[in-house]
Amino acid sequence: MADLIEVESLSKRFGAIVAVDDVSFSVARGVVMGFLGPNGAGKSTTMRVITGYLPPTSGTARVLGKDIQRSPVEVKRSIGFLPEGAPLYGDMTVMAFLEFIARIRDVHGVRRQQRIQYSIERMGLEQVLYQRIETLSKGFKRRVGFAQAILHDPDVLILDEPTDGLDPNQKHHVRELIRELGKNKAIIISTHILEEVDAVCDRAVIIDRGRVVMNGTPSELHAKSRRYNSVVVRVKADVAPKAAKLLRGLPHVTAVESSAPVNGSVPLVVVPRDGRFIADEVGIAVRQNGIEVDEMHTQVVHLDEVFRQLTVGQEKPLR
Partner 1 sequence: MKNIVIIARRELAAYFATPLAYVFIVTFLAGAGAVTFFMGDFFGRRQADLQAFFSFHPWLFLVLIPAVGMRLWAEERKSGTIELLMTLPVTTTEAVAGKFVAAWLFTGIALVLTFPIWISVNYLGDPDNGVIVASYVGSFLMAGALLALASCLSALTRNQVIAFVIAAAASFLFLMSGLDLVLGLVRSWAPSYVIDMISSLSFLTHFLTIADGVLPLPAIVFFLSMIAVCLFINAQIVELKKAS
**How many degrees, rounded to 5, is the angle at CA 46 between CA 163 and CA 167?**
5
Q: Which listed residue (26, 119, 148, 229) binds partner 1 by CB under 8 A?
A: 148
| Residue 277 binding partner 1, by CB under 8 A | no
Cβ proximity to partner 1, 27 vs 282, nearer residue: 27
Number of residues that bind partner 1 (CB under 8 A): 31
| Residue 16 binding partner 1, by CB under 8 A | no
Q: What one-letter code names the amino acid at 205?
A: V
219, 267 in Cβ contact below 8 A?
A: no
| Distance of closest approach, residue 185 Cβ to partner 1, in angstroms | 17
Q: Which listed residue (89, 209, 223, 250) binds partner 1 by CB under 8 A?
A: 89
| Residue 268 binding partner 1, by CB under 8 A | no
Q: Which listed residue (40, 66, 76, 131) binds partner 1 by CB under 8 A?
A: 76
d(CA 136, CA 260): 49
| Residue 146 binding partner 1, by CB under 8 A | no
178, 187 in Cβ contact below 8 A?
A: yes
Task: Choose the stretch contacting partner 1; rule: CB under 8 A; options: 104-112, 164-172, 205-213, 249-257.
Answer: 104-112
| Distance of closest approach, residue 94 Cβ to partner 1, in angstroms | 13
Cβ proximity to partner 1, 83 vs 182, nearer residue: 83
| Residue 105 binding partner 1, by CB under 8 A | yes
Q: Which listed residue (34, 52, 162, 182) binds partner 1 by CB under 8 A?
A: 52
3-state helix, strand, coil in the chain (%, to 5): 40, 30, 35
d(CA 165, CA 143): 10
DSSP code at position 318: P
20, 49 in Cβ contact below 8 A?
A: yes
Torsion of CA 196, 197, 201, 204, to 10 degrees: 150
Task: Choose the stretch contacting partner 1; rule: CB under 8 A; options: 70-78, 116-124, 239-247, 276-284.
Answer: 70-78
| Distance of closest approach, residue 243 Cβ to partner 1, in angstroms | 57
DSSP code at position 274: G
Q: Which listed residue (30, 85, 216, 283) binds partner 1 by CB under 8 A?
A: 85
| Residue 66 binding partner 1, by CB under 8 A | no
Go through 180-197 and write b for each residue having 16 or more CB atoms within 10 A of its CB, e for each that does not: ebbeebbbbbbbeebebb
Task: Choose the stretch contacting partner 1; rule: CB under 8 A; options: 74-82, 168-176, 206-214, 250-258.
Answer: 74-82
| Residue 60 binding partner 1, by CB under 8 A | no
Q: Which of 57, 136, 66, 54 is nearest to 95 (CA)?
A: 136
| Residue 210 binding partner 1, by CB under 8 A | no
Which string of DSSP letters, residue by residue, matches 109-156? HHHHHHHHHHHHHHHT-GGGTTSBGGGS-HHHHHHHHHHHHHTT--SE
Q: How many residues does the chain have?
A: 319
| Residue 106 binding partner 1, by CB under 8 A | yes
Summarize as ranges the residues that interact with partner 1 (CB under 8 A): 14, 48, 51-54, 72-74, 76-77, 79, 81, 83-85, 87-92, 96, 100-101, 103-106, 132, 148
